[in-house]
Structure 1
Amino acid sequence: MTRIRRQSQHAPIVAICSIGLRLPQGVRDTNAFWEVLVNGKDLQSHVPESKYNHQGFANTLGKKGAIETQCGYFVNKDLGSLDTSLFSMSQKELERCNPQQRQFLEVVRQALENAGEVNYRGKAVGCYVGTFSEDWLQMAAREQQHAGGYLLTGHGDLMIANRASYEYDLKGPSMVIKTGCSASLVGLHEACRALQNGDCVGAIVGGVNLIMGPTTTAAMTEEGMLSPEGSCKTFDAAADGYGRGEAINAVYIKLLDDAIRDNNPIRAIIRASGTNSDGNSSTLLTPNSAMHEALMRKVYLDAGLDPSKTAFVECHGTGTPTGDPLETNAVGNVFGEHGVYIGSVSENPNTHRP
């Protein structure tokens, strides 16, 4: 067995021990996800009628609130269902609880079980969740018949991390991260720092995005962000925006030394992480290639790794005429001298904000 060594001057290495996931078309484990990737399976489908009546918005093209794309990537699951025997919520609370909260609870359980963790209750385990839109809250605000409690705790996304910490009695840091596309990775960075600083002994890091209404999609259409075909053509000359997709995912992480001691499975390791901002770029939403490059160089320096030894880089891959060239330029400057393969899961099963 290859032993993993680290130098004392670098921060402790973090291990990814498990993954829990809910992806489009019923993909619920890593084996199924791998089959999608290696076989190039397209998980796109038409917008389900349970989401919204697409034709009602397509007929208003050119006007505020219009939606052009008819397709997306949707979790093949009844979002209203939950195994109530596993959780403490009352029936009324469950009825009004954001499906993102409900489904995330199941994914957290999957991640903890796959990591072999059994004595996590009452321990300093953190919970970091990246979120994006708040369709459920917007729908609730328009519901005139709503009465009673659970509006704050059940409808918004601010309670998703706290809900998991409460249900599983996790007593480490618990927070929701909202930084757009980067939310889950920013959450991962914060969780790694908490582990390395001794703020927690393990951490759930996840991302949730369910499309439950038309509001966010209409806003993105108006901003020109979405591909009319609803698909992300990453690194393609025909790139014209990204496609919206659903996903609820989580990983369980802990310090590598602790994972080895506790006989946890080790799926991958994190030697270093980092985050920065583009600052005053050309526009608020335009990536800054120089800042991307600076961050990658800093993280490799912190990890004590030589970029020239890297064989593959997983890119964001926005599928936009602006974003892709800026990102690949930064990757080329850091890794390109010796050649490097690049790829992006954004193209299939597509972009699941966060």
Structure 2
Amino acid sequence: TDMDTLAFIRKTSDDIQRVMEPKVSGLTTLYRHVCNEPLQFFILFSSVSAIIPELSAGQADYAMANSYMDYFAEAHQKHVPIISVQWPNWKETGMGEVTNQAYRESGLLSITNSEGLRFLDQILSKMFGPVVLPAMANQTNWEPELLMKRRKPHEGGLQEAALQSPPARDIEEADEVSKCDGLLSETQSWLVDLFTEELRIDREDFEIDGVFQDYGVDSIILAQVLQRINRKLEAALDPSILYEYPTIQRFADWLIGSYSERLSALFGGRISDASAPLENKIEAEAAVPAEDRALTPQIQATAILSPDSHAEGIAVVGLSCRFPGADTLESYWSLLSEGRSSIGPIPAERWGCKTPYYAGVIDGVSYFDPDFFLLHEEDVRAMDPQALLVLEECLKLLYHAGYTPEEIKGKPVGVYIGGRSQHKPDEASLDHAKNPIVTVGQNYLAANLSQFFDVRGPSVVVDTACSSALVGMNMAIQALRGGDIQSAIVGGVSLLSSDASHRLFDRRGILSKHSSFHVFDERADGVVLGEGVGMVMLKTVKQALEDGDTIYAVVKAASVNNDGRTAGPATPNLEAQKEVMKDALFKSGKKPEDISYLEANGSGSIVTDLLELKAIQSVYRSGHSSPLSLGSIKPNIGHPLCAEGIASFIKVVLMLKERRFVPFLSGEKEMAHFDQQKANITFSRALEKWTDSQPTAAINCFADGGTNAHVIVEAWEKDEKHAIKRSPISPPQLKKRMLSPGEPKLEAETSKMTAANIWDTYEVEV
């Protein structure tokens, strides 16, 4: 309430009582009713204001109420599992972010929702207490031992200082600030005019701190506004800039920092060099480099909250894949390491007709062995071919990990498949099917694996578009660390069973008309689609060592978030992209400079690629001298939709295993609005040695619908004490046959698809 900010001498006893009552009387009453119950925990939400005097100014009653909770927890810790959490400022929720000088000088940083929830998980799981302060801190001025002391008054006393006249230099600076404020107001007003004219709304209905998309702004309107700004400023602004600074307030600040002289000339004002970099001043107050954000010990108790670097690593113990131009894991590595592309015209026999489209496609998708997988041939004819691919690839995965199906039978193995199915078999196929539900249920992309291999962990299909497989991986990691499962099968699948996806992307204006898929390149002109299936087996490192598994790499952390509201479902959010990277990096316990390779998302669009590069540079190479190598699988195999994340992940694991950078097939024509050299970002052009002592990579995967995933993966250092009992074994030879109308045709394992019309067999809308 407003009363919370009054000086203490102006607060009435009733005012103080209203603030104190919930946390004093409320706590006492609650404790009396539950103290004899078998409590797992009793959490009190206190405040940092209870421990740092500087932060309780104007809120002495609130600070006292929280201090009562802290002392209460201390007094009753022997009777109940009680913990009082002295929460600092939350950035995204609660009473609003505090940005005053006292808070900044304390060294404390605002915490995000994900950071706060992770703190709470650690506090509950490790039972720190009875009083704990979870803090994100700026290490440059974090001095916890001084926080409980009152600050010394300035020499001469506050009253004396207030009576002195400011020196002439201060008057000049005040004058410059006034002029800066005038220019800022003029710039904001001009921008409001531009946007309201394009949107055809009244000026009074447009707030300068409102996000553009909240007013119905789309990419076309942004482009039109930017065109007018460029003409006025005689500039060529980066087309991604309005996504990077998505409010009038923020964009005007940036403009003044970058084009102060031109704006001063336009609006008849003047601004000195000293006040020009306004954006830098704002960002310096609002942000601290990721490397300076560290979890710190609380002041009263002995507990220390640390990053999740001590969370158990997740071992990759098996891999399998089938991508365009690469039917096996070995041929996928050959494709990547030799710098080849498997994108080309779609064969006429694939859909029964010739099309103008290009894609990366896999061969032999109409061949299957129903008998081996204990399926009725009538069911297989009606099933989604993606489900058949996943079954085959899971078999190969187990054998690559060194296991037979009998050895995992009945075990708590989770199945997490990223995929999308809108399969609609024709009525005749459904009439002949023995189990028609199996042919149409999307859940069977995963459930078929659980049933055939008889494993007892969760069976989950995840659809977040391109990031599906990595979102599934994040779920698997949590289940592994929580002890719910012993191992996880994680994969992604996508098939182009018709030209529906091509037509959809073409309607959206983002389909490339060429066979070359360019990303981070001035020649980028849209997406070239692809397909494929990839799978990995995961365990905790501890479990993998106990089982004698071959470990190919270790997942240090995975994070997932969403863009929230943007100008459209495919419009990126720069801040959300940076947040998911920072979160994964923090959880991994790694520093930005520890990451020497990043497998990027790459969209094939100038604006979205620019935003991704800016986000990467901001998180990973802001102020760091070591180069960061970037790459993407898309120029090699196209964009495999729901299989994108797993294709990127398998590529990175192979690179870490081989300790090699593979050639990147695009990025040769540098983008006009991004200084790659200044950003310290490089592209490998040949197969090069990865010389780091402990190679570590990151993976970006951003999706339509806004679900972003980021994964940190580290090379495995072989331990001589680790006896390897499991290594790849040859899978059984399948007796595949083409399942099309008429007499089944027996084919060998390596058969390629003939000119038969697969569309006669499968009808799938992607």
Query: TM range, normalised to the smaller chain?
Result: 0.7 to 0.9
* 1:24-103 paired onto structure 2 within 5 Å: 24-25=324-325, 27-52=326-351, 55=354, 69-77=356-364, 79-103=365-389
Deviation at 1:172, TM superposition (A): 0.3
Q: Runs of 4+ in structure 1 displaced over 6 angstroms? A: 6-9
Task: Provide the C-alpha distance between the structure 2 equivalents of 1:308 and 1:249, rounded to a whole number of angstroms.
Answer: 30
User: Which residue, out of 450, 464, 470, partners 1:165?
Assistant: 450
Equivalent AA in structure 2 for residue 49 of structure 1 = A
Task: Provide the C-alpha distance between the structure 2 equivalents of 1:146 and 1:216, rounded to a whole number of angstroms.
Answer: 25
Report the CA distance shift for 1:299/1:144 in structure 2 as closer, same or farther (over 3 A). Answer: same
Q: Please say if 1:13 is aligned against 2:313.
A: yes
1:350 maps to: 638
Moved more, 109-118 or 268-277: 109-118
Report the CA distance shift for 1:8/1:178 in structure 2 as closer, same or farther (over 3 A). Answer: closer
Report the CA distance shift for 1:83/1:144 in structure 2 as closer, same or farther (over 3 A). Answer: closer
Residue pair 1:127, 1:161 contacting (<8 A) in 2 also: yes
* 1:110-259 paired onto structure 2 within 5 Å: 110-118=396-404, 119-132=407-420, 134=422, 137-138=423-424, 140=425, 146-149=430-433, 150-259=435-544
**Long gaps (5+) in structure 1:** 1-5, 59-68
Deviation at 1:236, TM superposition (A): 0.9
The normalised TM-score by structure 2 is 0.42
The normalised TM-score by structure 1 is 0.88
Task: Provide the C-alpha distance between the structure 2 equivalents of 1:308 and 1:145, rounded to a whole number of angstroms.
Answer: 56
Equivalent AA in structure 1 for residue 471 of structure 2 = V
Deviation at 1:153, TM superposition (A): 1.6
Residue pair 1:51, 1:211 contacting (<8 A) in 2 also: no
Q: Please say if 1:104 is aligned against 2:390.
A: yes
SS of 1:275 mapped into structure 2: strand
Task: Provide the C-alpha distance between the structure 2 equivalents of 1:146 and 1:90, rounded to a whole number of angstroms.
Answer: 13
| Deviation readout 1:319-343 (Å, 9 max, x if unpaired) | 1122211111111001123231111
Deviation at 1:70, TM superposition (A): 2.0
Report the CA distance shift for 1:178/1:351 in structure 2 as closer, same or farther (over 3 A). Answer: same
Moved more, 333-342 or 105-114: 333-342
The higher-RCO structure (CA 8 Å, 6+ apart) is 1
Deviation at 1:346, TM superposition (A): 1.5
Deviation at 1:155, TM superposition (A): 3.6
SS of 1:274 mapped into structure 2: strand
Deviation at 1:30, TM superposition (A): 2.6
1:330 maps to: 615
1:22 maps to: 322
Equivalent AA in structure 2 for residue 165 of structure 1 = S
Report the CA distance shift for 1:9/1:222 in structure 2 as closer, same or farther (over 3 A). Answer: closer
2:550 maps to: 265
Deviation at 1:259, TM superposition (A): 0.6
2:149 maps to: none
Residue pair 1:51, 1:214 contacting (<8 A) in 2 also: no
**Long gaps (5+) in structure 2:** 1-305, 643-766
Residue pair 1:206, 1:250 contacting (<8 A) in 2 also: yes
Deviation at 1:199, TM superposition (A): 1.4
SS of 1:147 mapped into structure 2: helix
Residue pair 1:98, 1:156 contacting (<8 A) in 2 also: no
Report the CA distance shift for 1:151/1:239 in structure 2 as closer, same or farther (over 3 A). Answer: farther
Task: Provide the C-alpha distance between the structure 1 equivalents of 2:521 and 2:388, rounded to a whole number of angstroms.
Answer: 37
Equivalent AA in structure 2 for residue 147 of structure 1 = D
Deviation at 1:8, TM superposition (A): 8.2
Deviation at 1:86, TM superposition (A): 2.2
Task: Provide the C-alpha distance between the structure 2 equivalents of 1:9 and 1:333, rounded to a whole number of angstroms.
Answer: 22
Report the CA distance shift for 1:133/1:94 in structure 2 as closer, same or farther (over 3 A). Answer: closer
SS of 1:41 mapped into structure 2: coil
Give the number of the structure whose alpha-carbon radius of gyration is greater.
2
Residue pair 1:173, 1:199 contacting (<8 A) in 2 also: no
Equivalent AA in structure 2 for residue 353 of structure 1 = L
Task: Provide the C-alpha distance between the structure 1 equivalents of 2:337 and 2:344, rounded to a whole number of angstroms.
Answer: 20
Deviation at 1:9, TM superposition (A): 6.7
Task: Provide the C-alpha distance between the structure 2 equivalents of 1:8 and 1:329, rounded to a whole number of angstroms.
Answer: 26
Residue pair 1:153, 1:159 contacting (<8 A) in 2 also: yes
1:66 maps to: none
Task: Provide the C-alpha distance between the structure 2 equivalents of 1:272 and 1:178, rounded to a whole number of angstroms.
Answer: 21
SS of 2:315 mapped into structure 1: strand
Residue pair 1:120, 1:170 contacting (<8 A) in 2 also: yes
1:65 maps to: none
Report the CA distance shift for 1:54/1:279 in structure 2 as closer, same or farther (over 3 A). Answer: farther
Report the CA distance shift for 1:226/1:152 in structure 2 as closer, same or farther (over 3 A). Answer: farther
Residue pair 1:286, 1:322 contacting (<8 A) in 2 also: no
1:3 maps to: none
Task: Provide the C-alpha distance between the structure 1 equivalents of 2:359 and 2:309, rounded to a whole number of angstroms.
Answer: 46
